[in-house]
Amino acid sequence: MIVNEEEVLPRRRLPRAVLQLLATIVAIVVLLVVLVVRLRGGGSTVGPVWSVAVSSDGGLVASTSYYENAVRLWAASDPRDIRQLGSPLEIPDVSSVAFAPGRQVLAAGGSDGATGTGAVTLWDVTAPAAPRLLGSALTGSSGGIEWVAFAPDGRMLASGDRAGGARLWDLADPAAPRQLGSPLASDANGTAMVAFAPDGRLLAVRDRDGVRLWDVTDPADARPLGSSVPGGVMAFAPVGHVLATVGGENVVQLWDVAAPEAPRLLGSLPAGQHGVIYSLAFTHNGHTLAGASQDGMVELWNVTDPVFGRRLGDTAPGHKGFVASVAYTPDGRTLVSGGEDGKVRLTTVG
């Protein structure tokens, strides 16, 4: 509908102060539009952004659009001028993305599109506007891939599927990947989330009982350690031996896993009233932990001393609905979030 300006504004000229105020408001709106990356093209509606990842140099952001079967890459060196690079990568049922530390490789977990069985695709993102598919998809999982995580050296990948299975993959040559050993878990009652400890010798896998730690020093012969710790969503601190998990009543607990056969509870973090926590992310120095919440907020905690973690407050990225995934840029100053509203947002927090 075309609106005649004369029907909206009075005929008399507005005072200069009002015009200056309007100009300021317009400038703020334009800035907000630049800072918010919309995943809605051509007026169509896409589903939640389930996963976001940041490259090790902080220059790229990857995001998934499950209902659109797509992964998008964004240039994010300047958070005030984030822009999409190239066309979306078409990946059936994609749920998770991860960048290989120190390498120009992106992993995306989804399905093969035909049978619905799990598949991980690897992409060379040296030229991010034109990613190149590397080798064949990593298959064998009975359920679609829900989670992917790289070891700290970028040469091994863990995948977790919707049938509860977790697998390890040798990516020394990402164009010729191979599975290492047998599946680590098989739990038809849950989705296997996976995360590597900073030394790369320990892998956390969510199973029906909580979070189980595995010794992957010899990835071809990985072995479970001790019993599970309570929790579902989890994240390792990038330094030290601290594992964060979300337990009952959405309480975040911090565990000392220096002796992984017997994890020791360090403390629980005070939480706000924000509902379910869907994702956790540490800053690269391990001092701050972020939790993506059901009500669109992101909670922040200071965990410099994990025994006495304290709540820093909340940040509101501006999502409508829940925040599904969070990740920090390497400098810890920007928080990347993906939400139910199909948007990726960059929020300055440091």
pLDDT given for residue 76 in this prediction: 86
Report how far residue 198's alpha carbon sits from residue 282's, in angstroms, rounded to the nearest whole number: 12
pLDDT given for residue 15 in this prediction: 52
Domain spans of the chain, in order of start: 47-228, 230-350
In this prediction the pTM is 0.85
Backbone angles phi, psi at 177, to 5 degrees: -70, 160
pLDDT given for residue 78 in this prediction: 76
Q: Is 57 left (phi over 0), alpha (psi -120 to 50) or beta?
A: alpha
Show the low-confidence residues of the chain (pLDDT under 50): 1-14, 18-19, 21-45
Report how far residue 179's alpha carbon sits from residue 139's, in angstroms, rounded to the nearest whole number: 9
pLDDT given for residue 37 in this prediction: 42
| CATH for the stretch 230-350 | 2.130.10.10
Question: Same CATH fold, 230-350 and 47-228?
Answer: yes
User: Does residue 253 contact residue 230 with C-beta atoms inside 8 Å?
Assistant: yes
pLDDT given for residue 40 in this prediction: 34
Q: How far is CA 213 from CA 123, 124, 260, in A?
A: 29, 30, 7
Helix (H, G, I), strand (E, B) or coil at 249: helix
For the chain, how big is the Rg over CA atoms in Å? 22
Fold designation for 47-228: Methylamine Dehydrogenase; Chain H (2.130.10)
Q: Which amino acid is at 21?
A: L
pLDDT given for residue 110 in this prediction: 92
User: Does residue 45 contact residue 349 with C-beta atoms inside 8 Å?
Assistant: no
User: Nearest Cα to 238, choosing from 157, 327, 131, 124?
Assistant: 327
Report how far residue 138's alpha carbon sits from residue 29's, in angstroms, rounded to the nearest whole number: 44
H helices present in the chain, as ranges? 5-8, 16-35
